[in-house]
Amino acid sequence: MKDYKSEQIRNVAFCGHGRSGKTSLLEAALFDSGATTRLGNVDAGTGVLDFEPEENKRKMSISASLAALEWKNFKINALDVPGFPDFVAEMHGALAAADAAVIVVSASAGVEVETEKAWALAESLNLPRAFFITKMDREHADFEKVLADLIIKFGNSVLPVQVPVGK
């Protein structure tokens, strides 16, 4: 990885409820950016972010992980944050170090408790934040419903930047 000036580095925390797809999203980003040569899979235990034996056994993140990737002359330090309430201290630490937060929401589960906690903490730290809706290929996935729920919970400033085609 090349040297970057500080204005070319972004620290981004990926937060949200457990099993919303944070780690899978980041595994895909690492692969698409060329940071890894294969697409990691949480269920198969082949990812680079959940590397501890206990994480592979449980098929979930237990501690925050850091992965660096390059994108359009920027270095992105992606912080993969566990989403279960038992590990909330990891979210506090990651957001304290972050420049921005991406709050991941499952299209089939919608807004959940840890979604709200992640938003509230990022807001209290005055961090820019965005939602990323995952798992659009799952049964009962409903982008429009999730978007409507996000607007109800977090206000009219929530608006889609990209809308999926089809159902």
At residue 123's C-alpha, the angle toward residues 146 and 96, to 5°, is: 115
Whether pLDDT at 128 is above 70 = yes
Distance CA 51, CA 66 (A): 11
SS3 15: strand
Inter-CA distances, 156 with 103, 121, 128, 146, 159, Å: 17, 19, 16, 14, 7
Average pLDDT for 146-156 = 97
Average pLDDT, rounded, for the chain: 94
Cβ pair 127, 97 in contact under 8 A: no
Asked which of 58-62, 68-72, 105-109 is least confident by mean pLDDT, the reply is 58-62
Which pLDDT does position 57 carry in this prediction? 82
- The structure tokens 């697409």 sit at 39
Task: For residue 139, name the pLDDT band (cuts at 50, 70, 90).
Answer: very high
Q: Please tell me the pTM assigned to this model.
A: 0.94
Q: Which pLDDT belongs to residue 59?
A: 84
Looking at the domain covering 7-20+63-154, what would its CATH class be?
alpha beta
The stretch 85-106 carries a mean pLDDT of 96
**Predicted local distance difference test score (pLDDT) of residue 1:** 65
Mean pLDDT for the stretch of residues 27-47: 93
